[in-house]
Structure 1
Amino acid sequence: MASLLTSVRVGLRAGLKTECRSFVTAAAQPATQSKNSVRTGVIARKKGMTAMWDEWGTRIPVTVLQLEQCQVVQVLNEETHGYTALQIGSSDRSEKNVTKPMLGHFERAGVEPKRKLFEFHVTPDAILPVGTELVASHFVPGQFVDCSAPTMGKGFQGAMKRHGFGGQPASHGTSVTHRSLGSTGQRKDPGKVFKGKKMAGRMGGEQATVQSLKVMKIDNALNLIYVKGCVPGVDDQFVKVRDAVKKRGDKIAPADVLPLPFPTAEPELVKAMPRELVAKTGGSDPYVMKE
């Protein structure tokens, strides 16, 4: 009986410590995370751009990304696939709009059919069970992320808009060729235009990644991620968001919010978090006049 009471007290103390930890730094398995660990990313939808102000009153343009029923659909391991990754699905859709093979794929996973599927390479210690839901608190305010999505399609454009050419002179006899790209080849030798020459053509609609964007705010009620700066794609575009590859280790986030939730945020702790978590810029007031 004494040993049972002792174990209960130890469990209560451990639970109290867990609840008293900072909401931002809470992690599922902090003991297993290493400097080489790679967490999974998430699939969000771009909702548009707005602005927010930091504690000094400086205006910061931000892009709003929202997570919609983002879940783990499949685990790919080294033995069966040759690499370790998680297949993530986002945004539920009606079964009538899903093919039978894909419908069986979702049924085996025990999740609702998804509109978009992406794979994220992870380390074996960051694998999540199938069906795990990823929320906005997978990231923390102040950390850096990479956002990938197809760029806006611009259609067929000229060389000046597509490649930033300066065009022809605007005076001294130039006629009807002000926006011309100029010469594209040589004379009889070699007598051709080399492949890859920058000319007019289809612009946009290509996969692009913007790296090291700062997470300014997290909204746990609406699953919103406010990212500083611009993100590729049109509104409602699916965007892959993952930890910044160029900000590994202690550089990925401020020291007061490390370590990151690993492998993702615990649902119980997310429910206890405030609705909004805002990053602090720190430093001194930029508007104070220096003597």
Structure 2
Amino acid sequence: MPIREPSQTAGAPPALQLRDIRKSYGEHTVLQGVNLKIKEGEVVSIIGPSGSGKTTLIRTINKLETIDSGEIVLFGEDFIKDQNNTNPTVLRKGMLRIGMVFQSFNLFPHMTVLDNIMMAPRYHGKPSDSELNRKQAYYLLDRVGLLAHADKYPHQLSGGQQQRVAIARTLALSPDIILFDEPTSALDPEMVSEVLKVIQDLAKEGMTMIIVTHEMDFALSVSDRVVMMEHGVIQLNAEPTAIIDEQNQQIEYVRMREFMGRSA
């Protein structure tokens, strides 16, 4: 379990609220009315079998996927509705508060590690001071353990190192929420732990995070809550201690333990 507590004060709105999110591709329904609240400072992991809708769900949060109906509320304010009702100005403002780390690293191969990190805030106009931007990039590289690699190019790094650069690049935008979409799925097994360690450190610092992952033990150790999705709906949304309690024989908990490989 995380050692930090969510920073949200009493009465404050959730950092993120998903209300009845629905999404279909033609005749294929992917999300069937998903509701989820995430408090500021919380870490929520989303697990589930392939095709359960978990990646589609996380991609709706920053508009990489449109929603057919429903609403996404960010820190108590309107953010995303269906594609006909979303306010472009509100959308742009909200998206600056959300960072995302993908399965693939998406680094610019012709840029050094340092320049990759400096590019993100420069693209969004913050900070405007180039020297401040550079100092921040060095600080973030040090934070993810890669300061010595600042002048290297992505192809000179391991997969785990590239993913840590991608995390540093996301942090350069000073997001309030970070989304992780299977951040270790493209890595060799021996590189997974170094990336998970960085995410775990962010959790201890109180970063609000939503993590789609297949790393079950990691999900249980880092998360305030674990959400299991199947067939486009949330089957269970529970704290890790409740999930691993073998005395809890409710069918949803038994099913989740079986999926996580923790059944007796």
TM-score range, shorter chain: under 0.3
Could you state the TM-score of these two structures normalised by the residue count of structure 1? 0.23
Structure (1/2) with the larger helix percentage? 2
Structure (1/2) with the larger strand percentage? 1
Could you state the TM-score of these two structures normalised by the residue count of structure 2? 0.25
